[in-house]
Structure formats: structure tokens, C-alpha cells
Chains A and B, each alone.
Chain A
């Protein structure tokens, strides 16, 4: 990134190759939508170029990248208030028919339910779970990204997991009751 900062803009392609999947996965888990996430990833890379002078090289590049990604995400949430989550009917259309599809459907539905449950969480709680579980970042790194202490990260993960459990298992029970 320091090379990009000093004017070697071609090095940006390298950064794209290295980080676009990570960024996409972060934004995908945060928004729940692939198409929107692709646009957001593009936005993050644009800001990297535009604000390259703000990268000091003192902290990790990854931390800086997540800072930008969070800003892009916040801006887009402000502009676009709706939460995006695919509903079950759309999913069924996608998968098609057949017995094997039923199994696939079950599995997909579990994963979809988890996704839904994540969507219900507060932004703060969803974010901490995405960073710690899906992005598999260490607590000290998350602390740097969120500007809080490691202890606070730990507490937040614990609370978020508790909330997710509440939402997910209540939903799952309701679904089972419905199936019966």
C-alpha cells in the first residue's frame, strides 16, 4: 500500500487480488446480498485510491482496509435503509425440484435461517460476529478496527453470540412446530 501511496497505482491491482475475497465476504455477511456487496467492494477500493494519503504505514494495512469498508458500509446503510435477505420462496426457485433438492433445501434453509438471524441482530453485534467468526480475525486486530479494547471485544462477542442464540433457536423451534 505504501507503494501505491507514493504513486505506483499499478500496485493496487495486487492489493485487489489479495484482498477482494476477504472484503467481499465481510460485506456479504454484513448485508446478506452478493450483488450489493460487489458494488461495495468496488467502492472500498476506490476510497483506497482516493484516500491513499491517509494510510500512514504505522498500523496494519488490513486494519485500515476494514476502517474504509466500515465507512462505505455505513454510508450505504444510510442511503439504503432496507435490509436485504432472500426469502425462502426465492430460494426454492433457485434450487429447483427433485428429492435431492429437498436435502439441499434443508441444509440451505438452516444456513438461510442463520443468515436471517444474523440480519435481525443489531449492527454492532452482527459486525463483531462477522469479524471474529467469518473473517476469523484475532481479538487484538478487531480491537484495532473498532477502536475498543480487547476486553471489550471479548464481552461483545459473548453478548452477540447470546443474542444470536436466542434469535436462532426461537426461530428454529418455531419452524419445527410449523413442520409438525
Chain B
């Protein structure tokens, strides 16, 4: 153990039990090194002195002020609620009823305007449909290209490239089965946790599809990273996917489950049932 290293351990030394192996190691070094010993003695002196510093006691005025502040705040919240509901409705009522004539004129005007615009648009419609069709074709082609690129990149050994592949799906509105399968295979098997997390996020945009949801539930059992498990739990709550409860219960029975994950899953089961 070097002196530099030992000196950095001062707070460990002071906070740890004398029987702690780490502390014993430091003590052993101190016994041999007068330099560090001196350093520790002065640090300890200062540390103890800091412990004895007296803090002034807050005055009773503080509590009084707090209570006044809380009272005033509650009052404003109450009056704001009043404003937002009753007064708002009243205001609308007052505004609407006597002014029906204005309203009628206005709506007639709108109808007229709509008629004129519609008439004008109709004339140029034919030219526009050709354009729209072209744009549509282009858009589909781009989508297809993105899907192909995504499928090609997702097998890449570099995690950054795989991340990019997953990010392509943000622009793919209508993913085909191949894309979905590739995403799930990444979610289940990718060695990089970040890639898996981003993939999960990408998959959730297709969660309207019942098949995707079912696969998400299946994937739950395959995850071992606490971060992905927690994220998946969040997704399940968002989707209100009750089928996942069974899998969650199974995960809970696992030994040496991360404490955080355990709490999260218990909470999730409660939220879902």
C-alpha cells in the first residue's frame, strides 16, 4: 500500500469499524509510516473539531413564518381552483349567449370562405395528384431503403453501428416482420445493455400490434440486466399488459435478484393487478 493511496483512504479509515479488514490494512501501514501517521493525526484533529462545531438553533420565528406561508399558499391554491372552474364557466356563458348573432354571421362567413377555397382547389387538384403520387412512391422507397439498411447494420460487430441501426426504425412507420424480428433478436441477445435499452424503446412504438406485445412479454423472461428489466417493467405498466404478471412472479422467485429490481417488479405487479 503506497502512502499516496493510504492518504486518500482517510475517510474510510475514520468511518470504518476497527475490525474491518480494510481498516486493519491501513492501520498496518500507519504503524510503519510516520509520515502518513502525522497526516492522519492532523486530519483526525480537524475532523473531530468539525464534529464539535455548534450549530445555532433556528428561532421560533421560523416556524411561525412557515405556517403563515403555508396558510397563504393553501389560500391561493383554493382561490385559483375556484377561478379555474366556476368563473371560467360563467365567463363562457356570458360570452356565448348574448352574442349569438355575431356567431351566426361568423359561421356563415366561414362557410362562404370554405366554398370559395374548395372551388379553387378543385381546379388544380388534377396536377397535384400526380405530384402526390410521386412523393408517395418516393416515401415508400425511402422507407424500404431504411429497412434494408437497418437489417444490414444490426448484425454489425460495433455497438455504435447497431445503435444507429436501431435508430433508423424511428423513421420506419410501418415496420415489416423482418424488422420486428431483428429488433427482438437484438433485444434478447445483444451483448450491449445500451443497445438493448434503445431497442426496447424502438419496439414500444410498434406496441399497438398484439403480436409485438406478446413477444415483449416473452422477452421479459430472457433479460438478465437489471436496467433492461426495470425498463421493461415500466413498459408493461404503460401498456397495461396483464399477461406479464405471471412472468414477473417467476422472476421474483429467482435467487440473488437485484434488490432494486425486486422492488420495482413488486410495484409493477401491484400497478397491473
Contact = CB atoms under 8 A, between A and B. Distances in A.
Contacts of B59: 38
A110 interface: yes
Given A24-B58, A115-B53, A169-B42, A158 B70 contact: no
A24 B62 CA distance: 10
B66 A114 contact: no
A38 B69 contact: no
B65 A158 contact: no
B67 to A, nearest CB: 7
Main secondary structure of the interface of A (DSSP, over half): helix
A167 to B, nearest CB: 10
Main secondary structure of the interface of B (DSSP, over half): helix
B58 A9 contact: no
A41 B62 contact: yes
Interface in B23-71: 42-43, 46-47, 49-56, 58-59, 61-63, 65-67, 69-70
A165 B65 contact: no
Given A16-B63, A134-B50, A38 B58 contact: yes
Interface in A27-63: 28-29, 34, 37-38, 41-42, 45-46, 49
Interface of A: 9, 12-13, 16, 20-21, 24-25, 28-29, 34, 37-38, 41-42, 45-46, 49, 110-111, 114-115, 129, 132-134, 154-155, 157-158, 161, 164-165, 168-169
Interface of B: 7-8, 10-12, 42-43, 46-47, 49-56, 58-59, 61-63, 65-67, 69-70, 73-74, 77
28 contacts: A9-B73, A13-B67, A16-B63, A20-B63, A24-B58, A24-B62, A25-B55, A28-B55, A29-B53, A38-B58, A42-B65, A45-B70, A46-B69, A49-B73, A111-B49, A111-B54, A114-B46, A129-B50, A133-B51, A134-B53, A134-B55, A158-B10, A158-B11, A161-B10, A161-B43, A164-B46, A168-B46, A169-B42
